[in-house]
Amino acid sequence: MKRDFLRLWDFTSEEITGIIERALALKSGVDANLCPLIGKSLWLLFEKPSTRTRISFEVGIYQLGGQSIYMKPSEIQIGRGESTADTARVLSRYLDGIIIRTFEHSKLEEFAANSDIPVINGLSDLHHPCQVLADLMTIKEKKGVIEGTRIAYIGDGNNVANSLMEAAGRMGLSLSIACPEGYEPDAVILEQARAGNGEIIILRDPKEAAGRADVIYTDVWVSMGQEGSAETKRKKFSAYQVNASLLACAKKDVIVMHCLPAHRGEEITDDVIDGPQSVVFDQAENRLHSQKALLEMLIR
């Protein structure tokens, strides 16, 4: 039976733990010559531009022995009126998996509902589950444990915040989200995640969130497609910058995470992202390893 990965909530805590452990093993060089995707072809449809998601998936597919096919929306018939459902049905006859990076999460759901092969969310406006798999791997790598780790997410309640809430509910994290009023994460996802095993708190004061944190996490204030609100958001979020003053409120061994790309001087300062507590670039590397483990699990 095929499995999709549209949101972190699609997997159990045991499955997520298995992916992370496998990713750490792959990173260490275990099974470096194993190629479970030999003869497999995966399609990457990206409506949003990407650096890390595209490169990490294409390299990972290649390292696992498979073939990736990258296309933009203008290169397929959906742009000329073919339905998403028909496209998914046809591609299921050619391919072994589909990775989509898009705006509306509903498009992923429609692809998955009409596809006989696994569909993976490379990013939507509502969820970013592949990023948070890498985040969990990084926390395990740097802190030794996931359950009980305290994360302070500082900034916009966006797709990353939504997926971190699901991670908290599944994996027993304590997550404090500090954001201005009106920029909270999705209320439905919050309610569902709070029914899980973790703790999720919405705060206004970023220093209060940082004070109890093992991990400080931030993301851009203005996501792709929201450029029209850039000036308003910069004013609203000016007190939510991750800087040396904020780090001084946290534990001495706190680590700093950012999913990248970073707008240096806005949500994070140079001295922090390049400083000794930053694990941002290890976190970016771990996209490759965690996605390889995910592909091994899903593509049969």
- Active centre residues (catalytic): 101, 128, 131, 219, 259, 287
**Of residues 129, 90, 111, the one with CA closest to residue 2:** 111
Q: Is 39 left (phi over 0), alpha (psi -120 to 50) or beta?
A: left
Q: Which tokens belong to 92?
A: 């299921």
**Of residues 82, 141, 143, 92, the one with CA closest to residue 113:** 92
Rounded to an integer, what is the distance from CA 205 to the centroid of its chain?
Answer: 24
Distances (CA, A) of 194 to 5, 164, 288, 291, 300: 21, 12, 29, 26, 33
Task: Return the ∠ at Cα 120 (arms to 55 and 30), rounded to 5°.
Answer: 60
Structural contact between residues 163 and 8, judged by C-beta atoms closer than 8 angstroms: yes
CA 287/CA 137 separation, integer angstroms: 9
Q: How many other C-beta atoms can be found within 10 angstroms of the C-beta atom of residue 204?
A: 12
DSSP secondary structure string for all residues of 250-287 = S-TT-EEEE-S---BTTTB-HHHHTSTTB-HHHHHHHH
Which amino acid would we find at residue 245? S
